[in-house]
Amino acid sequence: MSDAKKLGRRKFLGVGLGASAVGLASCSKGLPRLIVPQVKPSDGEIPGKARFYRSVCRACPAGCGLTARVREGRAIKLEGSPLNPIGQGALCATGQATIEELYSPNRLGHPMLRSPGGGLYQAKWPAAQKAFEAGIKAALDQKKQVVFVTRPEPGFVGSLFGLWLTALGQDPAQVVTFDPMAPDWLKAAAQKTFGVNALPRYDLSRAKLVLSFGADLMEDLGSPVEGSRGLSNLRRRGNRRNGRFIYVGPRLSLTATQADTYLSLRPGSELDLALGLCRQMLSLRPHPEGLPDGLAAALAPWNSQAVAASTGLDAGRIKSLARSIASARPSLVVGPGRSSVGEDAVQLGQAIYLLNALAGNLGSTFGFDAADVPASQAAAGARPSTALGMSGNGGSNAAAVNGNADHAKAQPVVAMAPSSQPLIPNGSTPLIPNGSTPLIPSAVEGRAAPAPKTALTLAELVRRAEAGDIGALIFHHADPLAYGDAFASLGKALDRIPFIASFTNRLDATAQHSHAVLADHHFLETWDQLALRTGVEAIQQPVMIPLLATKAAADVLLDAAQNLNLTNGLPNDGSLSDHMQAVLHSRDIQKGGIFKTAALATPVLAANPIDLTNQKPGTASDTSPVVLFPSVRHLNGLAGTNPLLEEIPDTVTSASWSGWVEVNPATAKRRGIETGDVLELSTAAGSVELAALVFPPAREDVFAAPLPYATGLLADNGRLGGRIENATVTKTGKRFDLVLAAGSFSDQHRGLVREVGENETLPKAKSLPTLYPTDRQGKRRWSLAVDLDKCNGCGACVAACYVENNIAIVGADQMRLGRSMEWLRIERYVEAKDGAPSVKLLPVMCQQCSDAPCEPVCPAYATYHTDEGLNAQVYNRCVGTRFCGNNCPYVARRFNWYTWPHESALAMNPDVTVRSRGVMEKCTFCVQRIRGAEEQAKMEKRPLKEGEVVPACVGTCSAGALVFGDLMDENSEVAQLSRSGRAYHILEDLNTRPGVTYLARRQNEELE
């Protein structure tokens, strides 16, 4: 080798960049220079080692189990807990992002009191506690009522409200459960059709056909993880044939993108379709028992011609839909969802329940929680169910969970246990197999005793407040004033209440109206035990010491009772934490709860399941309504509370950071509307200005907007979203630069998302010659398989990726410049087949190409190919030429235009560098987790096992769409999938030989 050659690229750069390297070195000052040891060693804590705690996610009322990864006393990442039957090891995007709220600078870290001048000021706890007690005492002295408004609290803290009110000599029923997104119409319909005042539960895994009436299982209806898993369970697994999914509704939602057939019908005509299907079902299926005689006659007007005229669907299509439902045994009809409900919500619900009854689905795919069905009805469904449930009984402490016979310990309150119990500090904790769960007497029935049978409604609360009966109102994580005018009458009634206290994590709209704002712990910092549904009791334990000067709501109440000398019937063993630790079993805490299988209960049709007197088809209004639809990123219906969820683009439209109005291109053309024109939507209730998004799948006669950004349209009836009639839409002449991540909704005919028929395979890809050396492969090839048959675009993987990898949130302005930092994104491609719109989804991350275009162009050797098949990125070598990003055909690389601020240093994952300005970053299959697992195996002197390395995206996928492993191990799941007939690579003709394999989506037969 000549000397000239010896001065290779590296040496040349070393000389050339030497001068600037001096400057660079000064950028990196290393670690904090001080070390503070502990005073006393904390029990079992090892600095530098993660500990894992099981708890339960409270980001929504569903109650998925979680496993918190805790480093040096800080929770840094949440994973699902596989033991909890609701989440089954997965979390949704909101659950993943909730850790941002724990460390958010907007969190309220101290109590606040109202000064005589009217403003809120920061107070100390003794003063706040005194003010709270004084407010309560004044109400008691004046013989007025003390009332709670709480988020769903189906557990100890919830039961404490009733006990506390009893101790104060108040009616324990003075508790309003505030769950604004709960689909109350489903409950009301169930009451009328079955005499069961509860939400139904579905089992999609058994259904051969699912018909959804605007029911967005992932975005709404109380349990997004179960919804997502349910949809993927419909797809083929093993010998099970694909279930078919048909979605009818006024808007193509995320859930609707997963449908084999999306039927866009005239908004408001859903009831006609449901009744028309009921009518046909009468002749296609044997009648179920107890069917009222007059039903056939009552349904007679809903013949297929009338229904076709009303819905705008083809009569033949409706008939074939009915035949498909009748022949699929069992089928399942779900809904109505938020997008499909208007004034007729309850009756539509009844029609859908009746359709399920007529199709023979009761007790198989459609049922109720056993605790919700009256004992006289409960014909105890025969099978264990991990069914898709919908937020149980609404979670009210009042909606008492009847004690099971085997929970026979008479104890007034739910029990708890010894201090926080970590799991073995090692991700691969062996899981206790289901079924071997020992039962402990957990005294759940204790809650039933003080809890009233009928809880207070919000309307009754308003009435009492206006009558001046209420002396003190206590909000507990409930923020009704944030929902526009939906609860306006409550807002007005607040003026009549002398004392308002608010337990909260943020200074929210309701807290700003309070006299005392009592900063509560985050749910990761405090105890509870939740009876979520029959057989599912989850234990919430603190995973870290409270970060701020907050106090548990339960402790404020217990202390107040103590100081007011009114403790009769309250637990007398100290604080919440003491009490919990006194009773719960550490074994159960380690598992995150007590889980048994429970069967779906079969309901019985009421004597008159639906009343159709004086009704006829085709009465839907002709005006173009506004449809406010739910969003998977805002489960509580509120926008703007979590920056991470704002930044992650909406899967279907790619919009982020603001709301939008979907406008059909034809309508847009007719009315001269372009994307970015600000439209004013106004209804009788109010108006809201949002930017237009011309979106091909939108219906011509519907203006659809995401509910969280359009709360200004809500009328004071407590219902959030749905169809709002008589809306006017006007162009304001203003423009708004909508943040859209997608440059185009088309895949430009590149065939990125492929589909195959039920039993087809893809043609074999041509093998192309390569100029790269072919002998670089070591003993391993890390690889990811993305099954597009299962992926439903819920976005949990994206949120998990952000949190695990310290990815920066850049904000709307930088997003507009295309500077989003997401390593894993979900692309959407809008297509139209025979006039029916469809959206195809494609998760894209770094493809870890074997012949990577990014690698040879790096002048700094900052990106290189490892012998395990990764395109590694060495952040401190990167000098920011951006050549690699320019050369990457998958746009998988992200450049740091600034040293982005992070909300809190405490939230950062210490195993991943925080990148600074001028550095290119990308997905490396969570190389820190690969390294961790490899070291663990090395220390234990054993080879790495399959399934030991779980990247963040794979770990939280509820659909099971992502499979990670070693391609060189022929028996690994990922290798098997990569050999399957559905396997392909995106942009295969570029011959980059990616490590990410996509599996084509199976196309089901269309309806004839």
Partner 1 sequence: MSSARKMGWALVAGGLGLAALVLAVAFGAASARASTKIAGAPAKIADPSAVDAIHFDHTIHVGKYGMQCLDCHVYATESTVAGLPPVAKCMGCHKFVDKEKPGVQALATLWREGKAPVWQRVYSVPDYVYFSHEVHLAAKVQCQSCHGDVGSMHTVRRVTSLSMGFCLRCHEARHAPVACIACHK
Binding mask 792-831 for partner 1 (x = CB under 8 A): --------------x----x--------------------
Q: Per CB under 8 A, does 7 bind partner 1?
A: no
Judged by CB under 8 A, the residue of 4, 22, 34, 297 near partner 1 is 34
Positive or negative, the CA dihedral 838, 844, 850, 856 is: positive
What's the rounded Cα separation, in Å, for the pair 685 and 484?
10
Using alpha carbons, select from 419, 855, 762, 811 the residue that is nearest to residue 646: 811
| Structure tokens, 22 | 């001096």
Count of residues in contact with partner 1, rule CB under 8 A: 67
Question: Considering the rule CB under 8 A, would residue 454 count as an interface residue with partner 1?
Answer: no
Q: CA-CA distance, 447 to 939, in Å (whole number)?
A: 48
Rounded to whole angstroms, the Cα distance separating 810 from 648 reads 11
SS (H, E, C) 634-675: CCCCCCCCCHHHHHCCCCCCCEECCCEEEECHHHHHHHCCCC
**Residue 40 vs 764, nearer CB to partner 1:** 40
- In the range 887-946, which residues lie near partner 1 by CB under 8 A? 899, 901-906, 908-916, 924, 927-928, 931, 935, 938-939
Q: Does residue 577 belong to the site contacting partner 1 (CB under 8 A)?
A: no
The dihedral sign for the CA sequence 543, 544, 549, 555: positive
Binding track, positions 825-844, relative to partner 1; x by CB under 8 A: --------------------
| Among 13, 17, 73, 386, contact with partner 1 (rule: CB under 8 A) | 73
DSSP-assigned letter for residue 914: P
The CA-atom distances, in angstroms, between 172 and each of 147, 169, 397, 401 are 9, 9, 10, 16
Q: Which stretch binds partner 1 (CB under 8 A): 65-73, 225-233, 577-585, 715-723?
A: 65-73
| Token pair of 902 as six digits | 């992070």
| Residue for token pair 């979520």 | 532
74 binds partner 1 (CB under 8 A): yes
Residue nearer to partner 1 on the CB measure, 847 or 871:
871
Cis peptide before 47 (omega within 30 of 0): no
**Minimum CB separation from partner 1 for residue 427, in Å?**
15
Which stretch in 38-46, 502-510, 528-536, 648-656 sits in contact with partner 1 by CB under 8 A? Answer: 38-46
> Is residue 763 at the binding interface for partner 1, with CB under 8 A as the rule?
no
What is the smallest separation between the CB atom of 773 and partner 1, expressed in angstroms? 17
Shortest distance in whole angstroms from residue 779 CB to partner 1: 13
Beta strands in 660-768 (DSSP E): 660-663, 677-683, 686-694, 703-706, 722-724, 728-735, 739-740, 755-756
C-alpha 195/C-alpha 251 separation (Å) is 31
Does residue 762 interact with partner 1 by CB under 8 A? no
Q: Under 8 Å CB-to-CB from 650, ≥6 apart: which residues?
A: 631, 632, 633, 656, 706
Instruction: Report yes or no: 119 and 260 within 8 Å, Cβ to Cβ.
Output: no
Q: Is 642 in the site for partner 1 (CB under 8 A)?
A: no
**Minimum distance from residue 54 beta carbon to partner 1 (Å):** 21
Residues 240-299 that bind partner 1 (CB under 8 A): none
Shortest distance in whole angstroms from residue 358 CB to partner 1 = 56
Q: Which is nearer to partner 1, 483 or 782 (CB)?
A: 782
Locate 522 and state its tokens.
Answer: 């985050």
State yes or no: residue 448 binds partner 1 (CB under 8 A).
no
Look up residue 196 and give its DSSP letter.
Answer: -
Among 40, 143, 764, 779, binds partner 1 (CB under 8 A): 40
Q: Are 988 and 890 in contact (CB under 8 A)?
A: no
Shortest Cβ 644–partner 1 spacing (Å): 13
Three-state SS for 588?
Answer: helix
Question: Contact between 233 and partner 1 (CB under 8 A)?
Answer: no
In the bound state with partner 1, the residue whose beta carbon lies nearer, of 190 and 870, is 870
Q: Which is nearer to partner 1, 106 or 568 (CB)?
A: 106
Instruction: Choose the stretch contacting partner 1; rule: CB under 8 A; options: 42-50, 149-157, 487-495, 749-757.
Output: 42-50
Binding mask 184-213 for partner 1 (x = CB under 8 A): ------------------------------
Kindly indicate which of the ranges 33-41, 288-296, 563-571, 742-750 contains the residues binding partner 1, using the contact rule CB under 8 A. 33-41
What is the distance between the alpha carbons of residues 909 and 913, in angstroms, rounded to a whole number? 8
Q: Figure out which of the listed residues 54, 71, 279, 476 binds partner 1, where binding follows CB under 8 A.
A: 71
* Cα distance between residue 336 and residue 270, in whole Å: 9
- Encoded amino acid at 920, one letter: M
739-740/655-656 β-pairing: antiparallel
DSSP assignment of 800-840 equals HHHHHTTPPP--HHHHHTT----SSEEEEEEEEETTEEEEE
Decide: is 124 part of the binding site for partner 1 (CB under 8 A): no
The stretch near partner 1 (CB under 8 A) out of 145-153, 546-554, 619-627, 831-839 is 546-554
Query: Least CB distance from residue 809 to partner 1, whole Å?
Result: 10
Of 102-110, 343-351, 396-404, 413-421, the segment contacting partner 1 by CB under 8 A is 102-110
Q: Which is nearer to partner 1, 544 or 801 (CB)?
A: 544
Enumerate binding residues for partner 1 (CB under 8 A): 27-42, 45-49, 71-74, 103, 105, 109, 544-545, 547-549, 806, 811, 864, 866-867, 870, 872, 874-877, 899, 901-906, 908-916, 924, 927-928, 931, 935, 938-939
